[in-house]
Amino acid sequence: MSGNTSGNSLPLETTIKEYRPGLEGVIACRSSISYVDGQEGLLEYRGINIRELAEHSTFEETAYLLLYNHLPSEREFSQFKMLMARLRILPHLIRDAIEEFPVGMHPMLALQSAISLLQADDYYADDISSPQHNLRRAISLMAKLPTLITTFERYRSSEEPLPPSSKYSHAENFLFMLTGEPPHSLAAKVFDRFLILHAEHSMNASTFVARAIASSNASIYSSISGAVGSLSGILHGGANERVLRMLYSIGHPDNVEEFIEEQLATKNRIMGFGHRVYKVKDPRAHILEEYIPDLVDQLGGEEVKTLYQTARRFEEVAAQKMASRNIHPNVDFYSGIVLEALGIPVDLFTAIFSMARVSGWCAHWLEQIDTNRLFRPSQDYIGDHQRAYVPIENR
Amino acid sequence: MSGNTSGNSLPLETTIKEYRPGLEGVIACRSSISYVDGQEGLLEYRGINIRELAEHSTFEETAYLLLYNHLPSEREFSQFKMLMARLRILPHLIRDAIEEFPVGMHPMLALQSAISLLQADDYYADDISSPQHNLRRAISLMAKLPTLITTFERYRSSEEPLPPSSKYSHAENFLFMLTGEPPHSLAAKVFDRFLILHAEHSMNASTFVARAIASSNASIYSSISGAVGSLSGILHGGANERVLRMLYSIGHPDNVEEFIEEQLATKNRIMGFGHRVYKVKDPRAHILEEYIPDLVDQLGGEEVKTLYQTARRFEEVAAQKMASRNIHPNVDFYSGIVLEALGIPVDLFTAIFSMARVSGWCAHWLEQIDTNRLFRPSQDYIGDHQRAYVPIENR
């Protein structure tokens, strides 16, 4: 009858005895947000193939689809974009607090911290009974992430943060607030596709964390802040940054073969290849790589061009050497190259992933509180029992 | 082979088909930290009954036990307490950032935010390969939580934060940094017991979140920050605050019977009664209530005395009316009264719960990274497939 109790709790006998590390194969929720078929290499957002969305949609429209489960009419979309434009602006109090963040900290921890602070602007955040308010909170978070990231980035570079401009799209605004330059049209287009492709991916670790935090009826700020924390881990969101560092450490296409052979011989991980879900090539990787040649050609300097050639050679050699093992490049293999070509600082890569994924997290937060049950799994206790408390003088 | 892939992943066919909302009865980890027997009303930390710890131990010693899996020798304990004393001090950069936190925000969100900021003081936080460094991080977090909470509390009250004093225990330091007064000995003793009793409780929602975030190899700061977010939810850590508000709204022992009858008739929740795990009276409730009469007598004003009488009457009436339903008071029923008698502001109650539980969270974080597997459960997809992308002019 109290908060953490329930009349319909199952007897303890019905514990599922089998322990699945990482809850692999365990159904943690019912969801209608996205669908991944790892055998077919298919990813759908609300039933629509991401290839269609990457070709025809924008990040704003895709975010709308994820939140509302339908594509917007012209009127709905224009209102949504106006609301996003308004909510992109950061309250002064939050900006002042970010100005005091230690400049040496990792941007992902700064983002995690900044998102919790946003609750200050939503005094009744713990009242989640109104679906309208909850949707508005989700839109506000999506709108504000680029502002939070670029505000921290500019403060740590001793530059004044730039306010968003209502004449720019979401993708354009990020590039503008980062650099102060009007965004290049190809850069904005590819970055927008990047955001679409990273917006949502069913039950990954950070989305699961967002739902787990939501399940105690914690506010959207607590939940999304925690999801950012999960994404910051190197086993999750940090992969594209590591691919990039790996490719730079290889340095030239001619060094690829030796590097891969060495990695295989020593059974080291090869970053950016394979995926726990996809058994064929990641469909996001397929789409993203199509945009890279133009991007590298038009925007990349010599370094980025060599990087791209190294990556192409890497894919060729890996295909030969690992073909029998059914391991393919995943989206992280390409996304680091895209962000590098866009001139984004490497330690912001995961924060930018958050900027896309926040739309999926928010959709999951809304779905979770709508059909909520507190996450309280069991443990397999393997410790001692009935140990005595020995007084300190006898230890 | 990349971060989110594994060679030993199970085929998709082996998904556990049965959906358990809230993962109830699903084993999420192997653990040797604490054991709860809800049928017997037993709680052990590292195999030692909490009754023994509440009677003979201190919070510092209990925290040591949780982290190291043994009680400290005199030498170990004196070193541990010296380290705690040193690590209680907040770096200036963090204190300056907290000074800029919006004063109107909820202390739990401020705490969630402040904990992420602590990474600034640990530049290599994402390197979790050294058990020694990881233990030190855990001790640092446990040591700093009271300083973070009281720093925010004093800034929002327009008072200068007070540095910790090495002559005080952990419990005493919190009371001292909150008020600036030398702590009353009974207050410090009961508060210390409160911390012991709330230090750890196996797979509750926030502990599960700490482990889920840890599983992407996110830093201890990201993980504990997320756990605070989970605990902030009203279905988890917010219960004692709500019990207190309920008791104050009842106002007097004479009003209890009518209130309970009304709640039962309208099938409303009765706060502080029942527990998802305990089918008998929560052992922590048993222990905590023993300390209350003295505390109320020596420290409580008239208001607190009436509150306590209302609570006693509440328990009596509830026992009569709900006896057949096997629902008993849980620890939250008493802990709010304890904190109120100690003069702690109501909206700090859950932050104080964090101050205790951080020791359990840190023990789980250490255990998780030691035997890690990324949490990536499955979902039961109930949405559409193959929806077409309709151009906006045709919607």
Chain B nearest C-alpha distance from A199 (Å): 17
- Cα nearest neighbour of B391 on chain A: A56
Residue with tokens 């066919």: B13
Output the CA angle A27-A31-A32, nearest 5 degrees: 145
Residue among B192, B198, B286, B332 flagged as catalytic: B332
Q: Cα(A33)–Cα(A201) distance, rounded to whole angstroms? A: 9
pTM of the predicted model, to two decimals?
Answer: 0.94
For A151, the 3-state DSSP assignment is: helix
Residue with tokens 């005595």: A388
Record the tokens describing residue A211, joined without a space: 């739902």
- Asked, for residue B25, whether it belongs to a domain, the answer is no
DSSP character string of A226-248: HHHHHHTSTTTTTHHHHHHHHHH
Output the pLDDT for position A4: 36
Output the pLDDT for position A12: 45
- Asked, for residue B19, whether it belongs to a domain, the answer is no
Q: Cα(A347)–Cα(A108) distance, rounded to whole angstroms? A: 8
Residues of chain A falling short of pLDDT 70: 1-17
Task: Specify whether A291 is located in the same domain as A336.
Answer: yes
* The 3-state secondary structure of A165-230, one letter per residue: CCCCCHHHHHHHHHHCCCCCHHHHHHHHHHHHHCCCCCCCHHHHHHHHHHCCCCCHHHHHHHHHHH
Output the pLDDT for position B44: 98
Chain A nearest C-alpha distance from B170 (Å): 19
Output the pLDDT for position A198: 97
Residue with tokens 């489960």: A69
CATH of the domain at B145: 1.10.580.10
CATH of the domain at A263: 1.10.230.10
Q: Cα(B222)–Cα(B121) distance, rounded to whole angstroms? A: 13
| A320 and chain B in contact, CB less than 8 A | no
Residue B68 neighbours by CB under 8 Å, 6+ apart: none
Q: Rounded to an integer, what is the distance from CA B272 to the centroid of its chain?
A: 16
Q: Which of A19-23, B224-228, B384-388 has the lowest mean pLDDT?
A: A19-23
Please write the tens of the pLDDT for every residue from B39-68.
999 999 999 999 999 999 999 999 999 999
Output the CA angle A59-B4-A189, nearest 5 degrees: 20
Contact B87/B173 with Cβ under 8 angstroms? Answer: no
Cβ contact A47–B117 (<8 Å): no
Would you say residue B276 has pLDDT above 80?
A: no
- Asked, for residue A14, whether it belongs to a domain, the answer is no
Task: Specify whether B362 is located in the same domain as B313.
Answer: no
For A257, the 3-state DSSP assignment is: helix
Q: Cα(B110)–Cα(B101) distance, rounded to whole angstroms? A: 7
- Asked, for residue B29, whether it belongs to a domain, the answer is no
Q: At what angle do helices B107-117 and A107-117 cross, to 10 degrees?
A: 170
Phi-psi region of B51 (alpha: psi -120 to 50; beta: other; left: phi over 0): alpha
Nearest Cα neighbor of A145 from A183, A182, A171 is A171
Q: Cα(A91)–Cα(A98) distance, rounded to whole angstroms? A: 11
For A282, the 3-state DSSP assignment is: coil
Task: Specify whether A120 is located in the same domain as A193.
Answer: yes
Task: Specify whether B202 is located in the same domain as B316.
Answer: no
Task: Specify whether B225 is located in the same domain as B250.
Answer: no
- Asked, for residue B14, whether it belongs to a domain, the answer is no
Q: Are strands B48-49 and B42-45 parallel, antiparallel or unpaired?
A: antiparallel
Arithmetic mean of pLDDT, B314-339: 87
Chain A residues with CB-CB distance to B232 below 8 A: 126, 216, 218-219, 222
Which residue, of A341, A362, A387, is where some domain finishes? A341
Task: Specify whether B85 is located in the same domain as B148.
Answer: yes
Task: Specify whether B195 is located in the same domain as B275.
Answer: no
Task: Specify whether A334 is located in the same domain as A352.
Answer: no
Arithmetic mean of pLDDT, B317-331: 84
Arithmetic mean of pLDDT, B195-205: 97
Output the pLDDT for position A14: 60
Would you say residue B81 has pLDDT above 70?
A: yes
Output the pLDDT for position A15: 63
Q: At what angle do helices B302-322 and B331-341 cross, to 10 degrees?
A: 170
Residue A188 neighbours by CB under 8 Å, 6+ apart: A169, A171, A172, A175
Q: Cα(A58)–Cα(B321) distance, rounded to whole angstroms? A: 59
Q: Cα(A151)–Cα(B100) distance, rounded to whole angstroms? A: 15
| B165 and chain A in contact, CB less than 8 A | no
Domain span holding position A366 = 34-229+348-370
Q: Cα(B121)–Cα(B142) distance, rounded to whole angstroms? A: 15
Q: Count of domains in chain B?
A: 2
- Cα nearest neighbour of B232 on chain A: A218
* The 3-state secondary structure of chain B, one letter per residue: CCCCCCCCCCCHHHCECCCCHHHCCEEEEEECCEEEECCCCEEEECCEEHHHHHHHCCHHHHHHHHHHCCCCCHHHHHHHHHHHHHHCCCCHHHHHHHHCCCCCCCHHHHHHHHHHHHHHHCCCCCCCCCHHHHHHHHHHHHHHHHHHHHHHHHHHCCCCCCCCCCCCCHHHHHHHHHHCCCCCHHHHHHHHHHHHHCCCCCCCHHHHHHHHHHCCCCCHHHHHHHHHHHHCCCCCCCHHHHHHHHHHHHCCHHHHHHHHHHHHHCCCCCCCECCCCCCCCCHHHHHHHHHHHHHHHHHCCHHHHHHHHHHHHHHHHHHHHHHHHCCCECHHHHHHHHHHHCCCCHHHHHHHHHHHHHHHHHHHHHHHHHCCCCCCCEEEECCCCCECCCCHHHC
* A34 backbone dihedrals φ, ψ, rounded to 5°: -150, 160
Record the tokens describing residue A234, joined without a space: 């190197």
Chain B residues with CB-CB distance to A329 below 8 A: none
Proportion of chain B above pLDDT 90, given as a percent: 82
Contact A271/A329 with Cβ under 8 angstroms? Answer: no
Q: Cα(B126)–Cα(A232) distance, rounded to whole angstroms? A: 9
Task: Specify whether B59 is located in the same domain as B160.
Answer: yes
Output the pLDDT for position A3: 35
Chain A residues with CB-CB distance to B383 below 8 A: 31-35, 46-47, 69
Would you say residue B17 has pLDDT above 90?
A: no
Neighbouring CB atoms inside 10 A of A308's CB total: 22
Average pLDDT over chain B, rounded to whole? 92
Q: Cα(A241)–Cα(A34) distance, rounded to whole angstroms? A: 25
Q: Rounded to an integer, what is the distance from CA B128 to the centroid of its chain?
A: 24
| A125 and chain B in contact, CB less than 8 A | yes
Burial class of B224 by CB neighbour count within 10 A (0 to 12, 13 to 18, 19+)? buried
ipTM of the complex: 0.94
- Asked, for residue A77, whether it belongs to a domain, the answer is yes
Q: Cα(A67)–Cα(A54) distance, rounded to whole angstroms? A: 17
CA dihedral sign, ordered A63, A69, A75, A79: negative
- Asked, for residue A104, whether it belongs to a domain, the answer is yes
* B204 backbone dihedrals φ, ψ, rounded to 5°: -80, 175
Output the pLDDT for position B75: 97
Task: Specify whether A197 is located in the same domain as A243.
Answer: no
Task: Specify whether A64 is located in the same domain as A149.
Answer: yes
Please write the tens of the pLDDT for every residue from B92-112.
999 999 999 999 999 999 999
Task: Name the pLDDT band for B1 (thresholds 50, 70, 90).
Answer: very low
Chain B nearest C-alpha distance from A7 (Å): 9
Would you say residue B241 has pLDDT above 80?
A: yes
- Cα nearest neighbour of A393 on chain B: B74
Catalytic residue list contains B275: yes
Chain B residues with CB-CB distance to A48 below 8 A: 387-389
Task: Specify whether A169 is located in the same domain as A146.
Answer: yes
- Asked, for residue A43, whether it belongs to a domain, the answer is yes
Q: Where are the alpha helices (DSSP H) in A232-372?
A: 239-250, 256-265, 283-299, 302-322, 331-341, 349-370
Residue among B201, B275, B328, B364 flagged as catalytic: B275
Output the pLDDT for position A209: 98
